[in-house]
Structure 1
Amino acid sequence: MNEKMKRVFAFTAIVLGFFMALLDTTIVNIALPEMTRHFGGGVSEISWVMNGYNLAFAVFILTASRLADQFGRRKVFLIGIALFTLSSLLAGFAPSLGALIALRVIQGLAGAIIVPLTIPLTTSTFPKELHGAIIGIWGAVSGLAAASGPALGGVLTEKLNWQWIFFVNVPLGVLSLILTLMFIGESKDASAGRRVDAAGTMFITGSMFCFVYGLIRVDDWGWTSSAILLLFAAGLLLLLLFLYAERKGAEPMLPLELFKIKVFNGAALTLLIVGAGLMNISLLTSFFLTRIMGMTDLKAGLILSMMAVGATLTSAISGPLSGKYGSRWFAAAGVAVMAGAAYSLGGLTLSSPVGGILLRLTVSGIGVGLTMAPVMSAAVRNVPAEKVGISSGVINMTKALGSVLGVAIIVTALQHHLDGQVDAARSSAVQMIRDDGLLLPSVKEALATSLERAGSGGEGGMASLPSPESAAAAVGSQLQSAASGLAPEERAALEQSVPAQMRETEALVARIGGEMKGAAVKGFSRTFALAGLLLLPGVAFALISDWSPRRSKGEILAAEKGTLL
C-alpha cells in the first residue's frame, strides 16, 4: 500500500473518532423527552445527561492533551476511542437515570481525549503544505456531525428507541480503533518530559470545574447568589495558582510561552466568542421554533441542521484558502456574518415562513465555516510544531468554555427580556378582562385571578397562560356557584346566558394568548439582537488570529518558535 493510501486510512480513523465524539453532543438533545418518559424525573434531572458530558469534557481536555504529548498521542487516542465506545454501549443498557448520567460523564472524559488529539494526529500524518486543506476537511466533518445529530437522533428515537443514539457509536468506534492500530504512527512532544505536572493538573482541573459547574447552575441559582460567587472566586483562585505553578514548575503541562504569541491568543479568544455565539444562536432558535412557533423537536432539529450544512460547505473551502492567503480576513468576515445572522433572527415572527428561517440559519452556518477551520489552522501554523498538541487542547478548551458561558448569559438575558415583555402584556390582559362589557363580574374575577396567578418563568422562559379549556372550566365553575343560591326562575335566566359567556371567554382568551405570544416574540427579538452584539468583539480578535501573508519568512519562523510577540 502506498503512502497516500495509508494517509487516507489514517485520516479516516481520526475523522471517525472525531465524528463520533461531536455527534454525541447534538444527537442526545432531541431524545431527552423520551428519556424523561423512560426514567421519570424532571427537566433539572434529565438536563444532566447533557451537562455531565459538557462538564467532564471542559474539565479534562487540557490534561488529556498534555498526557498525550508526554506518553504518545496514538496511545492516548486509542484509550479515548475505546472508552467512548464502551461507555456508549453501556449507556444504551443503562438501568437508571443516575447510571446514564455517570456514563455520560465518562463519555465526556473520553471526548476530551479524542477531540483535541485530532489536530496533532492530523498534522503529524500529513505534510505541512497540506495542513490547510486537511483542517478544512476536519472543519467540514465537524459541521456534518453537528448537522446530522438532530436529524439522526430524531429518526433513531422515533423509528427504534432512544438507546440507539448510543448504540450507533459502537461500529464507528470499533472501526476507528482498527484503522488507528493499523495506519496511525506514534507521535509526541519530545520536549515534554515524562513527569506528570500534578500541581498544574490539580489546579486547572479544579478551576475549570468551578467555572463550568457555576455557569451550568447560574440559571438555577442566579448570578449574584453566594454559591455562584463562591464557585467563581474559587475558580479564579485556582487559575491563579495554576499559572503560578506553571511559571515555577520544572516541567509545566502548559508552557506559558505560548501566550507570548499574539496570534495564538487571538485564535483562542476568537473561538471563545464563536463558541458562545454558536450555542446562543442554536439555543435561541430551538426555543423559538418549539416554544413560540409550536414545532415538534424533530422538525426544529431538521431546520437547525441547515446551520451546520452551511458550515460544512464553507469549511471545506475556507480551510485550504486560508492556508494560502492567511486566516485573518476569513475569520473576521465569518464572525461578522454570524453576528448579522443572529441579529436577523430577531426579525422572526409567529408567521415567519420556514424558507426565511432556513436562509438565516444557512447564512449563520456560512459564518461558522468561514471562522472555525481558518482559526484552527492559524493556531496550528503559528506555534512550534512540537506544541501543536497542547495548543489544540487550549483552543478546544476555550471553545468549550465559551459554549457554556454563552448558554449562561443568553438564558439569563432571555429570561429577563421575556419577564419584562410578558409581565407587561399580562397586566394589560387583566385590565382587558376587567373592562369587558359582556362578562359577568364573577366570570371576570375567575379569569383575572387565573391570569394573575400564572407564572412568568416557566420552562424555557415562556409564561404559563390559562388554556381555553381551563378558562372554560373556570367560567363553568363560577356560573354553577352563582346559580346555586338563586331562585328557579333566576337560575334559568343565568343558564341561558352560559353559551354567550363561554363564547366571549373563548374569544377573550384567544386574543390574550395572541398578545402574550407577541410579547414573547419581542423578548426573543431583543435577545437575538444581544446575541449578535456579543459576537462583535470576535471580529477584532479574529483580525489578530494570524499573521499577515506579507510578513517576511524570518518573522514567520520566529513566530513558530514562539519568540515573536
Structure 2
Amino acid sequence: MSDPSSPTTAAERDPRLDRPWPALWSMVFGFFMILVDTTIVSVAMPKLMEGLRTDINGAIWVTSAYLLAYAVPLLITGRLGDRVGPRTMYVIGLGVFTGASLWCGFADSIEMLIIARVVQGLGAACLTPQTMTTITRLFPGQKRGPAMSVWGATAGIAILVGPLLGGVLTDLLGWEWIFFVNVPVGVVGIGLALRFVPRFPVRSHSFDWLGVVLSAIAMFLLVFGIQEGETYAWGTITDSLVIAGVATGIPVSVPGLIIAGVGCLTLFLVWQAMNRREPLIPLGLFTDRNFSVASVAIAAMGFAMTGIGLPYTLYLQLARGMSPTQAALMLIPMAVMSLAMARPVGRLVGRVDPRFLAMAGFGLTAVSMVIFWLLLHTDTTVWVLLVPATLQGFSTSLVWSPLSMNATYNLPMDRAGAGSGVYNTTRQVGSVLGSAAIAAVMQMRLVSHLGGGAAGSAEAMGPLPEPLREGFAVAMGESMLLPAIALTVGFLATLLFAPIRRHDH
C-alpha cells in the first residue's frame, strides 16, 4: 500500500490533475497579461511623456524598471513555487501584479510610475515560473509538445498584441488605461486559477540569498550603465548620479558602473559554483546541451523583441504623424500572423525536429529587421511597411515553442522549478538588456543624424518639424540593426542543438 504522504498519492488526491488543459489555459490567461505589459508601454510612450512631463530616457525606465524587477527574482520564485506550491505562488504573483497595475494607473509622476512598475515586475516574477513548472508536471514527454506550443504562442502573441492594445486604449481612454485594464483581467485570472489549477506536492528548498543580492546588484549596474551611458557621454557623471529623476549625490563613472556590474556578475557565477547547498542556478542544468543552447537563444530573442517595438512605434508617430491607434494598426499583421501560425506550429513541434523551426524563425526574423532598416524613411509607402511586419509575425511564431520544447524536454521532474526559473530568467535578462541597449543606440543615432540640440527637440510630443523627420526616421531604422544582430546570435546558437530523443518520461 502506498504511503499517503508520497508525491504520487498526494497528487492523486486532486482530481484536477486528470484535467490538465483547463489548468494550462487558466494559467496562460494570467501569463498573457503580464507578458503584454512588457511591450504595451511602447506605443503609449509619446502620450505618457506628455502626461508625466518626462523625456524618452525617463519613459524608457518605465519599461526597464519593470523588466529588471521581473528578471532578478525569477531564479528564486521558481523554487518558492516548489516549496509552497505552483498554484499558490501563481495566485500571489497575479494578485500583486493586479494591485500594482491599479497603482500605475493612478501615478502622477514618472518617479511614482517607475516605483509601481517595479512592484508589477515582482508580481510577474512570482507568476511566470509556475506556468512552465505546471506544464512539466502535468504533461509527460510526448504530450508536452502541444502544451509548450500554447505557452510559446502565448509569449509570442502577447509581445505583439501589447503595442496594439496600448495604442487603442491610449487614444480612446488615455495612457492610464493601459494599466487599469489589467485589474478586471487579473481578478478573473485569479478566479480561474483557484478553480482549475490543481495542487501539487511541495518540496523543501533552501534559499540562496547571497546569490539574489549579487545578481540584483549586477543586473542593476549593467542596465543603468548601458541605458544612461549616452546621457552622460559614456564618461564620468561629475555632478551626481540620477536614477529615474532622483539625485543620489554619488559622482561615478559610467564605464565604472558597467565594470562593477560585470564584476558582481562574475562573483555571482563563482558563488553558484561554490555553493554546495542549493544555488540559484544549479550548474548541472547546463550539462544538458539543449537546455544550455535554448537559454542562450531565448536570451537573444528576449533582447531582440524588446528592442523592436520602440523605434518602430516612435517612427510611426513622430516621423509619420500617426496617432497611437494608427500606429497600433500597423502592427496588426504581426499579431494576426502569430495567431494564425500558433496551431500549425504546435502540430509541427511534435512531428518535426524543433531545432529546424527555431533556426528558420531566428533567420527570417533577422531578415525582417534588415528590411525595416532599409524602409524606415519618410517617403516610404505605408502599405510597404506591412511586408516586414507580416514576415516578423510569421517568423517569431517559429521560435517560442520550439525553444521551450528543447529547453525542458530532458529535464527531470525534481528540477522543473529550477529549470523553468533559469530559462525564464535568461529570457527576461535578455529583455532588460535589450531595453537598455535600444535606449542607448537610439540616442546615439539621433545625435549622429540630428545633432545634440535637434536630438533633444526630437523628444517633443507629436509629429516632428518637417526638417527633422527624415533624420529621425533614419535613426530609428538604424536602431533596428541592433535586434537583427541579437537574432543572428540566436540563429547561430540554434545550430548547436542536438536532436531530441523522443520518449515519455
Q: Same fold (TM over 0.5)?
A: yes
Please name the residue that 2:214 is paired with. Answer: 203
Which is higher, the Rg of structure 1 or of structure 2? 1
Is contact 2:168-2:324 (8 Å) kept?
A: no
Distance 1:256 1:4, change over 3 A: closer
Superposed displacement of residue 336, structure 1: 0.5
Write the distance in 1 (CA, Å) between the matches of 2:102 and 2:268: 36
Q: How does 1:487-498 map to 2 (within 5 A)?
A: none
Deviations 1:213-264 (A, max 9, x none): 3333234234455533222222222223222322232222321111222211
2:323 maps to 1:296 = yes
Unaligned ranges ≥5, structure 1: 424-453, 468-509, 561-565
Distance 1:241 1:528, change over 3 A: closer
The aligned amino acid for 1:25 is T
Please name the residue that 1:350 is paired with. Answer: 378
* 1:248 alignment partner, one of 274, 277, 282: 274
The aligned amino acid for 1:458 is G
Is contact 1:415-1:461 (8 Å) kept?
A: no
Write the distance in 2 (CA, Å) between the matches of 1:182 and 1:111: 20
Is contact 1:141-1:312 (8 Å) kept?
A: no
Is contact 1:189-1:387 (8 Å) kept?
A: no
Distance 1:41 1:162, change over 3 A: same
Please name the residue that 2:231 is paired with. Answer: 220
Write the distance in 2 (CA, Å) between the matches of 1:317 and 1:227: 51
Aligned to 2:374, the other structure's residue is in SS state coil
Please name the residue that 1:458 is paired with. Answer: 456
Which stretch of structure 1 is more off in the superposition, 87-96 or 346-355?
A: 87-96
The aligned amino acid for 1:201 is V
Please name the residue that 2:425 is paired with. Answer: 397
Distance 1:246 1:420, change over 3 A: closer
Write the distance in 2 (CA, Å) between the matches of 1:2 and 1:198: 36
Write the distance in 2 (CA, Å) between the matches of 1:395 and 1:237: 23
The aligned amino acid for 2:401 is A
Q: How does 1:151-190 map to 2 (within 5 A)?
A: 151-187=164-200, 190=203
Superposed displacement of residue 111, structure 1: 0.9
Which stretch of structure 1 is more off in the superposition, 332-341 or 71-80?
A: 71-80
Is contact 1:139-1:312 (8 Å) kept?
A: no
Q: How does 1:102-501 map to 2 (within 5 A)?
A: 102-187=115-200, 190=203, 193-223=204-234, 225=236, 227-249=253-275, 250-348=277-375, 349-422=377-450, 455-458=453-456
Give the percent of matched residue pairs that are identical in Structure 1 and Structure 2. Answer: 32
Deviations 1:276-333 (A, max 9, x none): 2223332332232223222223211221243233333334332442233222111111
Distance 1:422 1:78, change over 3 A: closer
Aligned to 1:346, the other structure's residue is in SS state helix
Distance 1:355 1:8, change over 3 A: same
Write the distance in 1 (CA, Å) between the matches of 2:67 and 2:320: 28
Superposed displacement of residue 363, structure 1: 0.4
Superposed displacement of residue 40, structure 1: 3.9
- The number of residue pairs the alignment matches comes to 474
Is contact 2:318-2:469 (8 Å) kept?
A: no
Is contact 1:274-1:402 (8 Å) kept?
A: yes
The aligned amino acid for 2:414 is E
Aligned to 2:253, the other structure's residue is in SS state helix
Q: How does 1:7-22 map to 2 (within 5 A)?
A: 7-22=20-35
Which stretch of structure 1 is more off in the superposition, 256-265 or 280-289?
A: 280-289
The aligned amino acid for 2:122 is L
The aligned amino acid for 1:540 is L
Is contact 1:132-1:321 (8 Å) kept?
A: no
TM-score by length of 1: 0.75
Please name the residue that 2:61 is paired with. Answer: 48
Is contact 1:146-1:305 (8 Å) kept?
A: no
Write the distance in 2 (CA, Å) between the matches of 1:329 and 1:49: 36
Is contact 2:319-2:469 (8 Å) kept?
A: yes
Is contact 2:228-2:440 (8 Å) kept?
A: no
Please name the residue that 1:492 is paired with. Answer: none
Aligned to 1:382, the other structure's residue is in SS state coil
Q: How does 1:498-517 map to 2 (within 5 A)?
A: 513=467, 517=469
Write the distance in 1 (CA, Å) between the matches of 2:423 and 2:352: 22
Superposed displacement of residue 4, structure 1: 9.1
Deviations 1:456-513 (A, max 9, x none): 4326689xx996xxxxxxxxxxxxxxxxxxxxxxxxxxxxxxxxxxxxxxxxxx7xx3
Write the distance in 1 (CA, Å) between the matches of 2:415 and 2:18: 27
Write the distance in 2 (CA, Å) between the matches of 1:5 and 1:229: 55
| Higher RCO (CA 8 Å, separation ≥ 6 residues) | 2
TM-score by length of 2: 0.84
Unaligned ranges ≥5, structure 2: 1-13, 237-251
Write the distance in 1 (CA, Å) between the matches of 2:343 and 2:285: 28
Deviations 1:132-182 (A, max 9, x none): 111212222223323332333233333334333222212222222222222
Write the distance in 2 (CA, Å) between the matches of 1:36 and 1:367: 32
RMSD over aligned CA atoms reads 3.1
Write the distance in 1 (CA, Å) between the matches of 2:206 and 2:470: 61
Superposed displacement of residue 342, structure 1: 0.8
Superposed displacement of residue 530, structure 1: 5.3
